[in-house]
Structure 1
Amino acid sequence: MYSATKTSNNSNSSNLIGIHGYNLVGCWDRIHCEKAFKIASEIGYSLVEVPVIDPLFDTQATKQLADKYGLRLSCSVGLSQDTDISSLDESTRKQGEQVLMTAVERAHAIGSPIVCGVIYSKLGKYSRAATQQNVNNSVEILRRVAQKAQSLGVQLGLEVCNKYETNLINTAGDAMKMIQRIGMPNVVVHLDAYHMNIDENDPIAAIDECQSRLGYFHIGESHRGYLGTGNISLRSILRALARIEYSGPLVFESFSNEIVSPFVTEALAIWRNQWEDGEQVAKHALAFIQSEWFAAHKSKTTPLLWGNEEKA
């Protein structure tokens, strides 16, 4: 059984180990914000990913409470049907651009160096493939948002997401092409083990493909439950990240409809819960990541193939 310790969180590398705020609370008013920070800090996390799109979000309270509990912050956004910047509808695109501009401003206000997530389309299933115009619309707006973000010292992270939650960026290769088209140095790739397990032919090759622009990583299981209990070779993924000397955050993401809002439940199809106690699954996740990340650094020079689970 894994056992987490505060002192070893970052003893093996410069990586911050974090947790998504919605793993612990269902909204982001002051009370829930403090609850999430208190739990995360007590468990031993160094970073909390904050859902800046929450209408109850309070930048001043979030920053003050993060300082109080000694936590670093990152920010994430998921666009909706009404704020889809790839849409052919101009008013929808304008609303989406405003959401992203606001997210960048909020990230800067709370000291987050990044806004990541599905920021290029709606978070949800499409009934058709993306057209070139959809891609062009997204690129045009993301370029403007990236320019604004750069002026504030903030990065944009394009989360590579599975085919059931977007039709625009499903692989690391898609993200790299989008970054090239946007043409801004502060746009990075945001990979997620859960999504990679669905759409990447070879997750290890995907990590290699985008290593020069990889800025953020979500650690999640195939069923979004307890780490190590699904079918993803998380050990292989962490070893691949160690081998390329990835220095960005490692953030645990797992959701239960016992906690998250109906919007998140519906957008992510959380119909079957893998857990009910967010604190318990968070403790297990931190211990798992610490242990496997330490082992990954010990064995990072060993030749690696997807699914190679041999112990160092």
Structure 2
Amino acid sequence: MSVSIHQLKNNPIGIHGYNLVGCWDRTHCEKALKVASQIGYSLVEVPVIDPLFDTQATKELAHKYGLQLSCSVGLSESTDISSLEESVRKQGEQVLMTAVERAHTIGSSIVCGVIYSKLGKYDRAATKQNMQNSVEILRRVAQKAQSLGVRLGLEVCNKYETNLINTAGDALKMIEAIGMPNVVVHLDAYHMNIDENDPVAAIYSCQSRLGYFHIGESHRGYLGTGNISLRSMFRALAQVGYSGPLVFESFSNAIVSPFVTQALAIWRNQWDDGEEVAKHALAFVQSEWFAAQKSKTTPLLSHSID
């Protein structure tokens, strides 16, 4: 039986704001939202703790351009909630509480990213105390978020950018320890390609706890030009009935700030024109997601080949 586009899940397809601009003051916010809307995206992920973040402008302009918003956060050395230093943990908790409040104000239903540790390489493995510190603070943040109708997404990140959550299994364990229903798994194809034994199996393992998905290539460039089996991931997402956002994320130091370039090691650019790569990404995701949903009645085995 044929499948029409009207029978398929209409997941929000989004793009990270830093794909289009390097900061989030009113001028850059408007540029990013206007371009994203014109290209055809329905959601923009905004860097809610950008030093120049303009809350009111973001809310007004998202409404003007008819866009949904999501919020992402990355903690630093001085705001690492897994830290053994109480003053550092307190600063990190305040950052997350502020992010939740801003998300609520601008109409975003989720705050995601590396919100459980610093975003950066550690020189040691995480301890039980590090994990406990993160869990206790995230439980309080999740309680605040729940009262505002906001979810928290724990982004599974590679070993070079955190020592706490490197696999979907790690995220699920932390979610169980936090014990709040509004905490979900945030998977990212780029990171999964580094640390998951089997990205397809990882997607299956999350099932209903999967709430956010980043689409990125192995080299953070044009989709379909790296070594990630994105088609298999899309099919797995369709198989488990994933209904959350599908968000393209790719960075270039031609656009992002020096701080982001350093934090994410963007030493080798894959593109110079953010609008061009964004157009390509939207077409790629729409095509692959449509194909994945049409074929979701066909069982997908682990390690499937495109």
Q: TM-score, normalised by structure 2?
A: 0.97
**Is contact 1:10-1:17 (8 Å) kept?**
no
2:191 and 2:48 mapped to 1: Cα distance? Answer: 22
CA deviations 1:158-204 (Å, max 9, x no partner) are: 00000000000000000000000000000000000000000000001
For 1:294, the aligned partner's letter is F
2:130 paired with 1:130: no
Taking a change above 3 Å as real, the CA distance of residues 245 and 85 of structure 1, as seen in their structure-2 partners, is same
Partner residue of 1:12 out of 4, 8, 12: 8
Cα deviations across residues 207-246 of structure 1 (Å, max 9, x unaligned)? 0111120000000000010000000000000000001110
Q: Does 1:218 align with 2:206?
A: no
Give the whole-Å Cα distance in 2 for the aligned partners of 1:11 and 1:280: 30
Residue of structure 1 aligned with 2:175, choices 166, 176, 179: 179
> Do the aligned partners of 1:37 and 1:65 also contact (CA within 8 Å) in 2?
yes
Aligned-partner SS, 1:112:
coil
Q: Which whole-Å CA distance do the structure 2 matches of 1:89 and 1:10 have between them?
A: 53
Structure 2 partner of 1:57: 53
CA 1:277–1:306: 2 relative to 1, 3 Å: farther
Match of 1:67 in 2: 63
Do the aligned partners of residues 33 and 241 (structure 1) sit closer, same or farther apart at CA in structure 2, a change above 3 Å counting?
same
1:272 pairs with 2:300: no
**Distance (whole Å) between structure 1 residues aligned to residue 240 and residue 205 of structure 2:** 11
Q: Do structure 1's residue 244 and structure 2's residue 237 form an aligned pair?
A: no
How far apart are 1:262 and its partner, in Å? Answer: 1.5
CA distance in 2, matches of 1:90, 1:110: 30
Q: Is the 8 A contact 2:220 2:249 kept in 1?
A: yes
Q: How many residues align?
A: 303
> For the Cα contact (< 8 Å) 1:21–1:48, is it kept in 2?
yes
User: Is 1:204 matched up with 2:230?
Assistant: no
Q: Distance in 1 between matches of 2:119 and 2:269?
A: 20
CA contact (8 A) 2:5 2:290 kept: no
**What amino acid is the match of 1:197?**
N
Over aligned residues, Cα RMSD in angstroms?
Answer: 1.4
- 1:36-115 alignment runs, 5 A limit: 36-115=32-111
CA distance in 1, matches of 2:295, 2:60: 40
Paired position in structure 1 for 2:228: 232
**TM-score normalised by length of structure 1:** 0.95
Unpaired segments ≥5 residues, structure 1: 1-7
Q: What pairs up with 1:23-38 in 2 under 5 angstroms?
A: 23-38=19-34
Matches of 1:281 and 1:160 in 2, distance apart? 24
- Whole-angstrom distance in 2 between the partners of 1:265 and 1:93: 25
Alpha-carbon separation, structure 2, partners of 1:36 and 1:285: 15
* 1:13 shift after superposition: 1.4
- CA deviation vs aligned residue, 1:256-298 (integer Å, no higher than 9, x gap): 0111111211111110011110000000000000000000011
In 2: Cα distance, 1:306 partner to 1:125 partner: 30
**2:250 matches 1:254:** yes
Amino acid at match of 2:48: V
Closer/same/farther in 2, CA of residues 9 and 21 from structure 1, 3 Å limit: farther
Question: C-alpha displacement at 1:14, in angstroms?
Answer: 2.6
| Shift in alpha-carbon separation, 1:10–1:146, aligned structure 2, 3 A | farther
The share of aligned pairs that are identical, in percent, is: 84
- CA gap of 1:167–1:252, structure 2 versus 1, over 3 A, is same
Residue type at the aligned position of 2:247? V
Counterpart-to-counterpart distance in 2, 1:9 and 1:298: 9
Structure 1 distance, partners of 2:233, 2:214, is 11
Aligned position for 1:5 = none
Alpha-carbon contact 1:9-1:46 (below 8 Å) kept: no
State the Cα distance separating 1:11 from its structure 2 match: 7.8
Among residues 17, 21, 27, which one is paired with 2:17 in the alignment? 21
Deviation at 1:49, TM superposition (A): 0.1
Deviation (angstroms), 1:51: 0.3
- In the other structure, the counterpart of 1:157 is 153
* Kept in 2: contact 1:9–1:17 (CA 8 A): no
C-alpha distance in 2, partners of 1:296/1:30?
A: 38
Q: Is the 8 A contact 2:198 2:303 kept in 1?
A: no
Shift of 1:301: 1.8
